[in-house]
Amino acid sequence: MHIFQNRSVARATRKEGVSDEACRKAIDDAEKGLIDADLGGGLIKQRIAREGNGKSGGYRSIIFYRRGDLAIMLHMFAKSDKANVSTAEREALGRLADELRALSLDQLRELVLTKGWREISYGSEGRT
């Protein structure tokens, strides 16, 4: 499994103090079939616990997800800031998912090098 964060999510997790472990937990849950919401087109919404408060007072992340293969965190927001993504945001994320579907692992890693994305280590891969 390869986990990536786009630049805005990488910035938000750093600013909010959301750990890589909390992000991995959200992906682990999805791998176990515990998906909070299937938005279609490869997009899911997963809850991420806020340190010391649990999931209910935490964050929501929209993730492009392929079971056992790839998770790209595209958008993250605190539940206290907004209840859900807007229709326009959801449509834009759907278009982005269509584009991401065609990218190779090497192309995604190029985004890490050139566009401020992050790769989070998962399992025995040992990469960050």
- CA-based radius of gyration for the chain: 14
pLDDT digits (tens, 9 = 90+) for 31-55: 999 999 999 999 999 999 887 666 6
pLDDT above 70 as % of the chain: 92
Query: Which helix (DSSP H) or strand (DSSP E) does residue 63 occupy?
Result: strand 54-66
Q: State the chain's mean pLDDT as an integer.
A: 90
pLDDT digits (tens, 9 = 90+) for 2-27: 999 999 999 999 999 999 999 999 99
Q: How far apart are the first and last CA of the chain?
A: 13
Of 9, 74, 63, the closest CA to residue 40 belongs to 63
Task: Give the distance, in angstroms, between the CA of residue 122 and the centroid of all CA atoms in the same chain.
Answer: 13
pLDDT digits (tens, 9 = 90+) for 64-100: 999 999 999 999 998 878 878 889 999 999 999 999 9
Sketch the domain layout of the chain as residue ranges. 2-120
